[in-house]
Amino acid sequence: MGGQQRVYRGKIRSTQSLKKIFRAMELIAASRIGKARDRVKAASPYSQAITRAISAVATHSTVSHPLTIERTDTNRVAVLTVSSDRGMAGAYSANVIREAERLRERLTEDGKEIVQFVAGRRALSYYNFRHREIAGEWTGGSDAPDVRVAKEIATALFNAFEAKADMGGVGEIHIVYTHFRSMVAQEPRVIRLLPLEIVEGVAESDAEVEPLYEFEPSSDEVLDSLLPRYIESRIYSCLLQASASELAARQRAMNTATTNAEDIIRQYTRLANSARQSEITQEISEIVSGADALAAS
């Protein structure tokens, strides 16, 4: 019985240590989520404005720009998967990787060759374990994205799109990330970055009166100037959305883990008390039996 008590007490201590870790991670995520949400909110107007500008140029220009038409000289497709660098965030990384795998299946069925780019250690570990070739990887700071990292990713993807077919150029760029809807709802999404398509463009209410556009110096040069900023802003917006989603998922997961740890501690405490009571009862029974034996002799 004494051995059982030691086992239960050891499990209680280890669970209490884990509870402290879970609680600390929950508090850290809770302290950062507000700033992450503010960054998402602050970046949205610029991202929407430059997307409308790009959509307007692509829609109203009469010149077929290479970045607005489908490439037929290559079947390669670049896919950027945005995950977390750390675990303990519930099914956050698993959901975005699952969405990326569904996209991969659809593209493969269409005869496309996937060129994989990864942001986040969880997705990187997933693809390395399956011996998938990685064309570009960025890790560190998934819960606090840096605009410099977004520029590096944008440059790598843009260069892959502009490269010739015999130099490994890609015909499409897709991003798989987690969109932050609320503290309790985060949704994995897939967007096609290039070739340009009308996404989040001019609202229907604005489309009633079609404006007339004049491009100076030319629509091609306007697109060449706006595209790098457009790609950087979209990628940075996706990283911010993923960051807020990761922190929200981690806070919720750690809150659940803390509650479960408390339940386990209560369960082991009851078992330890029951073992202690059984040990006391057995000792009393042995004392009474010994006293009866002495009295009978």
- Tens digits of per-residue pLDDT, 53-78? 777 777 666 556 666 777 788 899 99
How far CA 32 is from CA of 182, 247, 262, in Å, comes to 15, 7, 25
How far CA 293 is from CA of 281, 283, 286, 289, 297, in Å, comes to 18, 15, 11, 6, 6
Residue extents of the structural domains in the chain: 64-211+226-246
What's this model's pTM, rounded to 2 decimal places?
A: 0.81
Residue percentage of the chain with pLDDT more than 70 = 89
Q: Which residues contact 142 (CB under 8 A, 6 or more apart)?
A: 82, 83, 84, 85, 86, 119, 120, 121, 239, 242, 243, 246
- Tens digits of per-residue pLDDT, 172-211? 999 999 999 888 889 999 999 888 765 444 444 444 444 5
Q: For 133, phi and psi rounded to 5 degrees? A: -75, 130
Q: Yes or no: say if 101 and 198 are a contact pair by the CB < 8 Å rule.
A: no
Strands (E), 123-261: 134-138, 172-182, 185-194
d(CA 158, CA 160): 5
CATH topology of domain 64-211+226-246: Pyruvate Kinase; Chain: A, domain 1 (3.40.1380)
Per-residue model confidence (pLDDT) at position 46: 86
Per the prediction, the chain carries an average pLDDT of 85
Please identify which residue in the block is written with the tokens 């570009």. 136
Per-residue model confidence (pLDDT) at position 135: 93
- Tens digits of per-residue pLDDT, 10-44? 889 999 999 999 999 999 999 899 899 999 888 88
Most confident of the following: 142-151, 191-200, 283-292: 142-151
Nearest to 234 by CA among 72, 44, 21: 44
